[in-house]
Structure 1
């Protein structure tokens, strides 16, 4: 199978620093997406698959700690490295307790940042870009489902719902949670039901399980 570049989300509001880091990370072999505030970072992380995230603590709209905490609450387990101008022990503990795996104080050497990211990848082999779907696999990097017969094409929204469910397979997601994680807030809750219907047509009725009165969870596939 073709080797893919690891996907990394950089959430940083300093445009000069963002441009510098994005270029260096791309040279290091990452496929880099950028977001300039916490809300954009949340949307990217909930709707796309990443193997690593670099998040500035002092973000506008939604700060880095709140962003990481929301992602962990929604089942996103991608390793996060926090960047911050605060270097006290209490600040580092607060960042780690919020769900970050590592913490780097500004100003920093780029070589150290790259080394810390390599260390995170070694410590978290589960972020290889695949999620199990029963007898199938969800290719997070390329946003597709694969089984023994090949690729099963999905729309962007169908992939988003399946990715959310597969990322936390024991959790029952309410329609409101899926609507917030995958869809535009203006969409009606029935949009989630329609998407689940299409997933079942493509993957089989067992792919998504209905928990009556609560919502949906990943099925045995």
Structure 2
């Protein structure tokens, strides 16, 4: 069904996460091995329902989806993800190769369409292109299994729930998410987010507001030092 992939490319996007939704166990095994050799982190779903669950609850850089899947067809799977504001780049990998099939796939929200049998090197090149496009157009900051949508100024929880933020709530969360491993002192956050004139307690006040909206785990208190990013 596929040809042998050459050695991993030096331009491989190491660390990008791929969700492979495919029910052919032999193809899953060969693709997973090849993609991991190229530096991708690969999750596998053997049916559409599992693919939907993973797509809604975990962040990915690219989705690779078969059209014909058990429990939930690939087209319906992608349509449901798009209806829940999941904008992850998606490639259909399928034996359905007519022009009409491709149009249906693209209309469902796919970014690319590759027909079986295919060449693994071509699939690799297409995935690299999708990862580049996603990175260039990235408007998200990951926060655990959720993220901060910079364009819409919303926090998106791990279950897909979108939470609108006020201007200062958004700026505070963005400051923490931009440097997720740093412990931010109250004075630093006050200067960068609220301005020197603000009362010293304003940082604590807005941390309280954020936690009330998106959960206590979103901001971690580092006793005696300040705050750092948590998880959504």
What's the TM-score once normalised by structure 2's chain length?
A: 0.59
Question: Is 2:122 the partner of 1:112?
Answer: yes
Supply the distance in 1 between the matched residues of 2:35 and 2:21 (Cα, whole angstroms).
13
Q: How far off its partner does 1:124 sit?
A: 2.1
- C-alpha RMSD of matched pairs (Å): 2.9
Return the match for 1:205 from 204, 209, 212: 212
Supply the distance in 2 between the matched residues of 1:102 and 1:145 (Cα, whole angstroms).
24
- Residues 52-93 of structure 1 show CA distances to partners (whole Å, capped at 9, x for unaligned) of 110001111101101000000010000000011111111100
Supply the distance in 1 between the matched residues of 2:147 and 2:97 (Cα, whole angstroms).
42
Distance 1:76 1:47, change over 3 A: same
Supply the distance in 1 between the matched residues of 2:65 and 2:81 (Cα, whole angstroms).
12
Retained in 1: the 8 A contact 2:59–2:146?
no
Return the match for 2:38 from 28, 37, 41: 28
Supply the distance in 2 between the matched residues of 1:8 and 1:61 (Cα, whole angstroms).
21
Distance 1:75 1:126, change over 3 A: farther
Retained in 2: the 8 A contact 1:12–1:36?
yes
Q: How far off its partner does 1:204 sit?
A: 3.2
Q: Which residue of 2 aligns with 1:95?
A: 105
Retained in 2: the 8 A contact 1:78–1:127?
no
Distance 1:164 1:28, change over 3 A: farther
Question: Is 2:165 the partner of 1:165?
Answer: no
Question: Is 2:145 the partner of 1:143?
Answer: yes
Question: Is 2:59 the partner of 1:59?
Answer: no
- Residues 174-217 of structure 1 show CA distances to partners (whole Å, capped at 9, x for unaligned) of xxxxxxxxxxxxxxxxxxxxxxxxxx869333558xxxxxxxxx
Q: Which residue of 1 aligns with 2:133?
A: 123
Q: How far off its partner does 1:138 sit?
A: 3.1
Q: Which residue of 2 aligns with 1:68?
A: 78
Return the match for 1:50 from 42, 53, 60: 60
Distance 1:80 1:48, change over 3 A: same
Pair member with larger Rg: 2
Retained in 1: the 8 A contact 2:16–2:131?
no
Aligned residues: 155
Q: What SS does the aligned partner of 1:160 have?
A: coil
Structure 2: runs of 5+ lacking an equivalent: 1-12, 149-155, 166-206, 216-232
Q: How far off its partner does 1:95 sit?
A: 0.4
Supply the distance in 2 between the matched residues of 1:35 and 1:74 (Cα, whole angstroms).
19
